[in-house]
Copies of this chain bind each other. A is one copy, B any other.
Amino acid sequence: MRISRDDINTMQQRYRAHFINCLSGFKSANLIGTADKNGNTNLAIVSSVIHLGANPPYVGMIIRPHTVPRGTLENILETGYYTINHVHEDIHIQAHQTSARYDEDISEFEEVGLQPEYSDAHTAPYVLESRLKMGVVFKEHKPIELNGTNFIIGEIIEVIVSDAAVGDDGFVDIESLQSVAVSGLDRYHKTTAMGRLSYAKPDSPPQKID
């Protein structure tokens, strides 16, 4: 089927939200851990974390004021730190539950049954149960005026991950950690690797390298 801009305009609001949210493809599932200056914690699932660059190690995410508790963005701007924690199969239901609209003074950690964990490197709480977690220092806030969302850029200052998942060439086997992928607003997927492909060169087809 061919769907025009006019067709999108006339979709019922919830239908459109599901439809458009699916179009970009598979998404990462991460829990963003923050604390305010008094140490009150906040935890929010986001599916918009993306790689921005390896050197320096930058990571970006979109925070939408209407869907993520505002506490996350406020805490990041107040303290300068946040954590990004992979969601894996065994915690994906608790992770999803962090998107409920809890009151501002309630910690999603406690409500959904996940444990905060701290490091010496910064003040933001990790998710103990997560199998790949990053400590991040806030670098830049780019408001997207077009629709009132926020693009947040951070620099990775700490990574906590199982040795066994990191290969000889630095590749991290996130499938072995059972990290999940997301499609649309609410579907979670596990993955099956089809293989790694060699660095592409004009005169030879890609080779499987694992």
Contact = CB atoms under 8 A, between A and B. Distances in A.
Interface string A161-183: 11100110111101100011101
Nearest to A163: B1
State the number of copies, please: 2
Given A62-B50, A171-B184, A25 B200 contact: no
Given A16-B55, A197-B93, A121 B25 contact: no
Interface of A: 1-5, 8, 11-30, 47-60, 62, 64, 84, 86, 89, 92-93, 96-103, 111, 119, 121, 132, 134, 139-140, 142, 144, 146-147, 149, 151, 153, 156-163, 166-167, 169-172, 174-175, 179-181, 183-202, 205-206, 209-210
A54 to B, nearest CB: 4
Nearest to A89: B194
Given A4-B157, A24-B49, A189 B192 contact: yes
A161 B50 contact: no
A170 B14 contact: yes
Given A3-B159, A190-B191, A194-B190, A171 B52 contact: no
